[in-house]
Amino acid sequence: MSHVQPVRMGPIEIRTICEGWAALALADEAPGQTVDWDGERERRPWAFFGSDRWRWHVHAFVVQLPSGMIVVVDTGVGDFPPYAPWEESVEDPWADVEAAEVRHVLVTHLHADHAGGTVIGGAPAFPNAMVHVHEADWSAFAGSTDADDYVARHAMSSLLELGMISITDTDREVAPGVQLRHTPGHTPGHRSVIISHGDDAILLTGDLLHLPTQAAHPGWWSSHDEDPQLGRPRDGCCCGELPTMGGGSRFRTSRDRSDRWDPRAGSGSITARRAGPVAGPGRSSRASDDLQRKGSPACRVES
């Protein structure tokens, strides 16, 4: 069972699949930026491990729509190993997901911890689903065939032959209330996913944000971003409850704000509302309170 409780937004349910977490070195994360790591650790202890590492979670999301349609956002590592050895892993975290019932798989980008689970043992992991990938990622990683690249592009080639992959460069609605939004920087074709119902929306960020500090400091970037200037969320940052960071995060927001959000322009913003209860190491009222104080003017948390 995932340490992150499901979120419900009207008739929509979003479950978080957690495959596990590994400890990564803080020293590698924010080159050239002055970060008060001791202060960050005190404010958000759940995000850190020991004195010099942080907890990188691998998350994916299973979205059940009112029609009964199931949409998966990111797919975990699949046959790939974790990027670093697990400190904790979850045995068969996908056990409760009926793979054959999934109709759409939205891959935020092609790094193996987000797209590795689209193909398992050479076969589509979701046999009746269309997998959606941005064209810029598909092109950028065309030559990534080495396991050390940690990219799932090559393993996904069989989806192309089977006609089970949609490679486009457009922002669009793939299912009622489920929108793709191009948010480049971490990778050229990185996408975020906005799920909306009525006036509410939930944003699934992929690796747009990698560290909890980025939610409080929208101008900061991660060393994992291929283009840091594009990758930093700037004023288009969103914030809210932070169940965990590092391998896919979610934020509750409003439909109106999400419709206008454009991190590339640096002018859009999302006003996040408090999400429902979130369990686990990321659950900390202090963390969310802190975000209310420290969020930029464009990053306001409503109660």
Give contact residues for Zn ion (rule: CB under 5 A). 18, 57, 111, 207, 244
| Residue with smaller CB distance to Zn ion, 86 or 296 | 86
User: Is the CB of 166 or the CB of 244 nearer to Zn ion?
Assistant: 244
Nearest to Zn ion of 41, 111 (CB atom): 111
- For Zn ion, give the closer residue by CB, 190 or 234: 190
Q: What is the DSSP string of 44-104?
A: -GGGEETTTEEEEEEEEEEEE-TTS-EEEE----TTSPPSS-EEEE-SSTTTTS-GGGEEE
Q: Tell which residue, 186, 167, 165, has the closest CA to residue 118.
A: 165
CB of residue 271 to Zn ion, shortest distance in Å: 26
Measured distance CA(218)–CA(251) in Å, rounded: 14
Nearer to Zn ion, 57 or 182 (CB): 57
The distance of closest approach from Cβ of residue 121 to Zn ion in the complex, given in angstroms and rounded to an integer, is 23
Q: How far is the CB of 3 from Zn ion (least distance, A)?
A: 6
- CA gap 192, 183 in Å, rounded: 6
Q: 3-state class of 138 per DSSP?
A: helix
Rounded (10°) CA dihedral 30, 260, 104, 22: 20
Tell me the residue number closest to Zn ion, measured at CB.
18
Side chain identity at residue 133, one-letter code: V
Q: Which is nearer to Zn ion, 177 or 243 (CB)?
A: 243
Place of tokens 């008739």: 11
Nearer to Zn ion, 18 or 23 (CB): 18
C-alpha span between 192 and 137 (Å, rounded): 13
256, two tokens: 């109106």
| Pair of tokens at residue 135 | 């064209």
Minimum Å gap between C-beta 2 and Zn ion is: 7
The CA distance from 112 to 126, in Å, is 16
Q: Check the CA dihedral 91-92-93-96 and report its sign.
A: negative
CB of 247 to Zn ion, least distance (A): 7
Residue type, 277: P
The least CB distance from residue 110 to Zn ion, in Å, is 8
- We find the least distance from the C-beta atom of residue 291 to Zn ion, in angstroms, to be 19
Nearest Cα residue to 35 out of 48, 26, 44: 26
